Amino acid sequence: MTPSPQSKSQPASLPSSKPRILTGDTPTGTLHLGHWVGSVKRRVELQTTHECYFLIANMHAFTTRAEHAADIRRDSIEIVRDYLAMGIDPKLSAIFLQSEVPAIAELTFLFAMLLPFNRVMRNPTLKDEIKIKNLGETYSFGFPLYAVGQTADILAFRPTGVPVGEDQVPHLEMTREVARRFNQIFCGVSEHAEDADHEKLGGTFPIPHADVGAVGRLMGIDGVNKMSKSLGNAIFIADPPKEVQKKVGKIFTGRKTLTEPGDINNSLFQYVDAFILDPARVAELKDRYARGDNLGDGHVKQEVADALNQLLEPMRERRRPYEGNDDAIIDILRDGCVRANRVAEETLAMVKDAAKLSYFPRRLTLG
Ligand code: TRP
């Protein structure tokens, strides 16, 4: 059950003494500020203290867009560009493609046997997606299967934490159920064991927790819905300064006069809280706005736009060398896939051992 030896040309393993985290995104196009505050910012903070794996869920994209394979490929590359722009450092973190880590698909099949069908169908995130995306009764078999697949994405890395936005928490709950069940039926861990004790008691998997970002749900510029590319209310990481200014100008508050006490729970103030860095200035803006002390939406918006452009400028800078350079991105992905497979193959070997599925060792090479 030892992991396969790797060839000399492959990069060294990531340091293994650090706690491990895994998270990912479905490639749907360019990333926006909701991704930044909900999860990516946290990832950037964690990359020096944790061993990090960031997955591009390109197979999951096929659950609803199988007829748009070329777009999925383009979006998968684009998302890496945004990661790099936001400060994910490929030397520290492994950025990799779900489709190039076969252990994930194999674990998905096995984990599908550990979850009751009705449990999967009750997953609230799946149910919401069926509603929001109008999938009705016509969705593919693979659509609900992706939720099982996500448990495999995560557990293949045996991480302790998973930095995600709030909407992913139900997937994490299901992942924890799979991990507990696996440890119970294949590793002899007691049903009454505390989550924290599972590994100590011989379980293959730690029971991972969701690490939700400071702003789990950033509102879009419409002031009504969560920021989302498909709802047309997003400010993108790659938006130029003028576009950012224009979009911030559109944030809807419904306030009419400068002397009318303003509601600091509106979307505009969510941006103030999330993006203006000086806490004293944030407190002052809130106080004056709430009292109707001659502070207009326009002024607040200007300060928000300035703060956003300050945040985004270094990102634009970091993005530039990768603009139009797909080869550089593919090199980063190849390296990330090698590192990801090393861990995922090790997990798969442990799983096969525990589930009495190990007959002979195997070796995986990437071209
Ligand atoms: N479902 C997630 C999303 O749509 C993407 C994802 C796939 C993911 N696999 C994951 C997130 C594993 C965290 C961990 O954003």
Q: Domain spanning 20-217+320-354: which superfamily?
A: HUPs (3.40.50.620)
d(C-alpha 109, C-alpha 94), whole Å:
24
End-to-end CA distance of the chain: 24
Q: Which residues contact 38 (CB under 8 A, 6 or more apart)?
A: 164, 165, 166, 212, 213, 215, 216, 217, 218
Q: Note whether 46 and 21 are within 8 A (CB).
A: yes
> What does each C-alpha distance from 41 to 89, 251, 286, 298 come to in angstroms?
12, 22, 24, 27
Helix, coil or strand: residue 88:
coil
Query: If we measure between CA atoms, which residue out of 270, 325, 257, 328 comes closest to residue 296?
Result: 257
219: phi then psi, degrees, rounded to nearest 5:
-70, 150
| Residue located nearest, by CA, to atom 15 of ligand 1 | 25
Q: Note whether 38 and 218 are within 8 A (CB).
A: yes
54: phi then psi, degrees, rounded to nearest 5:
-120, 120
Tokens 């879009």, residue? 220
Query: If we measure between CA atoms, which residue out of 90, 87, 100 comes closest to residue 11?
Result: 90
Q: Is 26 in the pocket of ligand 1 (CB under 6 A)?
A: yes
Q: Note whether 81 and 46 are within 8 A (CB).
A: no
Q: Note whether 170 and 150 are within 8 A (CB).
A: no
Q: Count Cβ atoms below 10 Å from residue 72 Cβ, excluding itself.
A: 20
Chain-centre distance of CA 231, in angstroms? Answer: 19
Q: Is 27 in the pocket of ligand 1 (CB under 6 A)?
A: no
Query: If we measure between CA atoms, which residue out of 84, 75, 96, 76 comes closest to residue 237?
Result: 84
Q: Is 25 in the pocket of ligand 1 (CB under 6 A)?
A: yes
Whether the CA torsion 89, 155, 40, 79 is positive or negative: it is positive
**Could you give the residue range(s) of every CATH 1.10.240.10 domain in the chain?**
241-318
Alpha helices by DSSP H, listed for the chain, are 33-35, 41-46, 58-65, 69-86, 102-111, 117-121, 124-132, 142-155, 169-187, 241-249, 267-275, 279-291, 297-319, 326-354
94: phi then psi, degrees, rounded to nearest 5:
-90, 120
Supply the pLDDT for residue 16: 63
User: How many angstroms separate the alpha carbon of residue 278 from the centre of ligand 1?
Assistant: 32
Q: Domain spanning 241-318: which superfamily?
A: Tyrosyl-Transfer RNA Synthetase (1.10.240.10)
Q: Is 51 in the pocket of ligand 1 (CB under 6 A)?
A: no
| Residue located nearest, by CA, to atom 14 of ligand 1 | 23
Q: Is 152 in the pocket of ligand 1 (CB under 6 A)?
A: no
Query: If we measure between CA atoms, which residue out of 271, 265, 266, 283 comes closest to residue 247?
Result: 271
User: How many angstroms separate the alpha carbon of residue 23 from the centre of ligand 1?
Assistant: 6
Q: Note whether 177 and 199 are within 8 A (CB).
A: no
Please give the model's pTM, rounded to 2 decimal places: 0.89
Q: Is 28 in the pocket of ligand 1 (CB under 6 A)?
A: no
Total residue length of the chain: 367
d(C-alpha 172, C-alpha 168), whole Å:
7
Q: Is 237 in the pocket of ligand 1 (CB under 6 A)?
A: no
**Could you give the residue range(s) of every CATH 3.40.50.620 domain in the chain?**
20-217+320-354
Write out the chain's pLDDT in tens, 367 residues: 344 444 334 444 444 689 999 999 999 888 999 999 988 999 999 999 999 999 999 999 999 899 999 999 999 999 999 999 999 999 999 999 999 999 999 999 999 999 999 999 999 999 998 988 888 888 999 999 999 999 999 999 999 999 988 889 999 999 999 999 999 999 999 999 999 999 999 999 999 999 987 776 899 999 989 898 888 999 999 999 999 999 999 998 888 888 889 999 999 999 999 999 999 999 999 999 999 999 999 999 999 999 999 999 999 999 999 999 999 999 999 999 999 999 999 999 999 999 999 999 888 888 7
d(C-alpha 96, C-alpha 28), whole Å:
16
